[in-house]
Amino acid sequence: MAGFKKKEAREMPEMNTSSLPDLIFTILFFFMIVTTMREVTLKVKFTVPAGTELEKLTKKSTVSFIYVGPPTDALRAQMGSGTRIQLNDRYANPSEVMDFVAQERRGMANQAEQTISIKADQHTQMGYITDIKEVLRKSWALRINYSATRRQ
Amino acid sequence: MAKKKKKMPGLNTSSTADISFMLLIFFLVTTSMDTDMGLARRLPQPPEDDQKDVEIDVKERNVFNVRINADGYLALYRNGNYDFIALEDLRAQAKEFIDNPHNLGSLPEKHVKDIELLGPMAVTDNHVISVQTDRGTPYNIYFQVQNELVAAYNELRDELSMARFHKPYAALDEEHRVAIRAVYPQKISEAEPKKYGGN
């Protein structure tokens, strides 16, 4: 019979992998851009409270953080174990929050959106938080956010 | 002697993929896609310098006074006395207060308001929830109280949204959300702390 030949065992053509590095590089760049290496070294330790009605902090560029808690284990010997407030890289008084807010605001494109996220340890006494809130109010940083983790 | 023209050997690039994989994995590991979350709150505007603290006259029935003492116990301040309540009961109490479903005289006054997309609704938009803390109150308790109060609002909004639009509040578009928010506006006042109840 004409037309039917036994098929030869054909070799599978090899996939061209020359573009693989480019692909990986693209993913790499994506992650490099998305990554935010934490700029501040934490000098206080805190476990934020857990809540259910949380909102995501969007617009990273307008968020500044205030950390509240006892000094880390390494610093406890010098600083004691009382509650401390950390702004940027150092300990601060509540009164210094105003300068911090102004300074953070200066670098922001959308200053009306400025949000202060308070990352405070759950065992902090409210007095510290209230002091901070008072200063924030005076410096017109009215959007605040109590940082928390999600609880089921 | 003429040199033979040698062909430049091509650089072996087969390992580029491996190198970039290594970098990729490094960044994958170090990336903290910090989905920072928290309870968003808004502070009241600061008082003007020349302005004395004006006592805004709010009828007592319109105020839901939550007080937290230095030991972390909650009390509702009503009619001149404190009722201690558990944190678990706060949400139900707050919901009843905000909604005033049976139009009780002891709960916030209702009046009919015409709201776009919803029509006339009886709303209690004069109510205020006030949270007062002591300086020694643990932050966690304060946070849980705030969380419960926000949850009360969210539940009420969800219930209304399901009843009228057959969708949860989160699935609504902005226009409908505004309508729902007009019925249940969030009014949690951040009162300054007072020293009371020892410590």
Q: Is residue A22, in this structure, part of any structural domain at all?
A: no
Q: Is residue A40, in this structure, part of any structural domain at all?
A: no
- Least Cα distance to A105 among A147, A129, A84, A136 occurs for A136
Q: Cα distance from A10 to chain B (closest Cα, Å)?
A: 26
Domain count, chain A: 1
CATH number for the domain harbouring residue A144: 3.30.420.270
Q: What is the DSSP letter of A82?
A: S
Chain B residues near residue A35 by CB distance under 8 angstroms = 27, 30-32
**The predicted structure's pLDDT at residue B103:** 79
Residue A98: C-alpha distances to residues A83, A89, A138, B17 (Å): 19, 16, 8, 50
Q: Can you list the alpha helix ranges (DSSP code H) found in B40-173?
A: 87-99, 139-165
Chain A residues near residue B139 by CB distance under 8 angstroms = 49, 120-126, 129
**The predicted structure's pLDDT at residue B199:** 36
Contact yes or no for B158/B98 (Cβ under 8 A): no
- ipTM higher than threshold 0.85: no
Taking CA–CA distances from B153, the nearest residue in chain A reads A53
Q: For residue A85, what is the enclosing H or E element?
A: strand A84-87
**The predicted structure's pLDDT at residue B192:** 62
Q: Is residue A7, in this structure, part of any structural domain at all?
A: no
Q: Is residue A118, in this structure, part of any structural domain at all?
A: yes
Q: Is residue A36, in this structure, part of any structural domain at all?
A: no
Chain B residues near residue A17 by CB distance under 8 angstroms = 17
- Least Cα distance to A132 among A87, A79, A89 occurs for A87
Q: Is residue A24, in this structure, part of any structural domain at all?
A: no
Spans of chain A below 50 pLDDT:
none
Q: Is residue A79, in this structure, part of any structural domain at all?
A: yes
Higher pLDDT, B141 or B112: B141
Chain A residues near residue B132 by CB distance under 8 angstroms = none
Contact yes or no for A63/A57 (Cβ under 8 A): yes
Torsion of Cα atoms, B36 then B38 then B40 then B46, to 10°: -90
Residue A77, chain B, CB below 8 Å: the answer is: no
Higher pLDDT, B195 or A72: A72
Residue A72, chain B, CB below 8 Å: the answer is: no
**What global pTM score does this model have?**
0.77
Structural domain containing residue A123: 50-150
**The predicted structure's pLDDT at residue A2:** 57
Q: Is residue A99, in this structure, part of any structural domain at all?
A: yes
